[in-house]
Amino acid sequence: MGKVLPLGGNYAVAYAVKACKPEVITAYPISPQTTIVERLSEFVANGELDAEFLHVESEHSALSVAIGAAAAGARSYSATCSQGLALMNELLYIMAYVRLPMALTIVARALSAPINIWNDHSDFMSVNDSGWIMMMSSSNQEAYDEILLAYRIAEDPRVLLPVITAMDGYIQSHVVEPVEIVDDEEALSFAPKRRSWVTLNPDKPVTMGPVGDPNWYFEFKRQLWEAMKGSRAVFDEAVAEFAKKFGRSYSAIETYRLDDAEVAIVGMGSFMGTIKAYVDRARKDGIKVGALRVKLFRPFPAEDVAKALSNVKLVGVMDRALVPGSPTGGFLHSDVACSIKQAGLDVRTLGYIAGLGGRLLTMDNVRQMVDVLLKYKDSKEVPKEPIFIGVRE
């Protein structure tokens, strides 16, 4: 049993990164992420962490430098969100396809416009096709633990992909919870530095990231599809080993009172805590409702999601990012609906868009969501367009 400290999500992540001993940290401040790299700079300055701490001039440079460091064989780390992640965008794809591992934390925040520093999942969802493994926590302990999982999975020679660990801005990043931190030796024995990828080495020169003309480009896309698919088994292995070593168990999805549920709410992130609390309240009134939280978003646990929802009549999927013009309005709803369809199940879905730009989400919002499900659970037609929860008409 490690030490338990009262930590905001950002500090929790900083402690986890310190324990994993990255050699290179690239930092550019942006709210609500700033205090992660701020705390890490203190660890470096006071000698608790021996790492190159680079104050770069933009997020574009933050990821560029991390790519260079990873290419040289270093364990690298950076954190960002929102506009910063948007500025990193072109490098995200490069890092993934050159197959360089690292951990990057997204402290989820809305994308402009209007300028908004508050929490939703717009930034996280905007990079869901970039080839990164993506997971999102729902507590500060989980945010801490995801860093250890990230390095272990990313550097596994069967994977070699960078990993995004995300948490909700402010709701997690700036709210203090008890977090158990593990000894550095324990962290490193769980996530050892593998140096398992091809690196830049003057004695054994290689070319990284050359032009891939039409004769070559496609094969690397095909390669990454397989790597992403294969990473799921490594994720499962990692969480099983984590549970054995540290006593906390995770899985790609978290189900809550789904066994006999007629209707269910699917979502991601910290708000699932409130949803679970509402489920308990509704259950007392005899409403058969359950909940499902998607922790691992890429690779999407399609079979797990379908299996968990197979006995439900109607599923409501909450997206905290809007995809204007898409059939469902949200990436999570699209993937959940597709998972159900691929499994050949007769389970219908509808979607909610909620909590954009930090709009307060409450127990009453969950009640609205469940009321919609109860209204449509036995009808043939369900709303196709997303239901906007908490917006003023």
Residues found near another protein in the complex (CB under 8 A): 97-100, 160, 197-198, 205-210, 212, 215-216, 219-220, 222-223, 226-227
Output the smallest distance, CB 98 to another protein, in A.
Answer: 5
Q: 272-284 and 363-376 helices cross at what angle (nearest 10)? A: 60
Output the smallest distance, CB 24 to another protein, in A.
Answer: 19
Output the smallest distance, CB 211 to another protein, in A.
Answer: 9
Question: What does the DSSP assignment read for 302-344?
Answer: HHHHHHHTTT-SEEEEEESS--TTSSSSSHHHHHHHHHHHHTT
Q: Which one, 47 or 205, has the nearer CB to another protein?
A: 205
Q: Which one, 71 or 337, has the nearer CB to another protein?
A: 71
Output the smallest distance, CB 194 to another protein, in A.
Answer: 13
Output the smallest distance, CB 72 to another protein, in A.
Answer: 14
Contact 23, 75 (CB under 8 A): yes
User: What are 103's strand-pairing partners?
Assistant: 77, 163
Q: Give me the phi and psi of 205, to 5 degrees please.
A: -65, 145
Output the smallest distance, CB 95 to another protein, in A.
Answer: 10
Question: What does the DSSP assignment read for 126-182?
Answer: HTTTSS-EEEE-SSHHHHHHHHHHHHHHHT-TTT---EEEEEETTTTTTS-EEEEE-
Q: Which one, 192 or 209, has the nearer CB to another protein?
A: 209
Q: Which one, 97 or 242, has the nearer CB to another protein?
A: 97
For residues 40 and 47, what is the distance between their CA atoms, to the nearest angstrom? 11
Output the smallest distance, CB 324 to another protein, in A.
Answer: 33
Q: Which one, 47 or 210, has the nearer CB to another protein?
A: 210
Instruction: Report the Cα 235 to chain-centroid distance in Å.
Output: 13
186-189 contacts at long range (C-beta below 8 A, 24 or more positions apart):
186/2, 186/19, 186/245, 186/246, 187/16, 187/19, 187/20, 187/148, 188/19, 188/20, 188/21
Q: Which one, 189 or 223, has the nearer CB to another protein?
A: 223
Q: Which one, 222 or 367, has the nearer CB to another protein?
A: 222
* Terminal-to-terminal C-alpha distance of the chain: 51
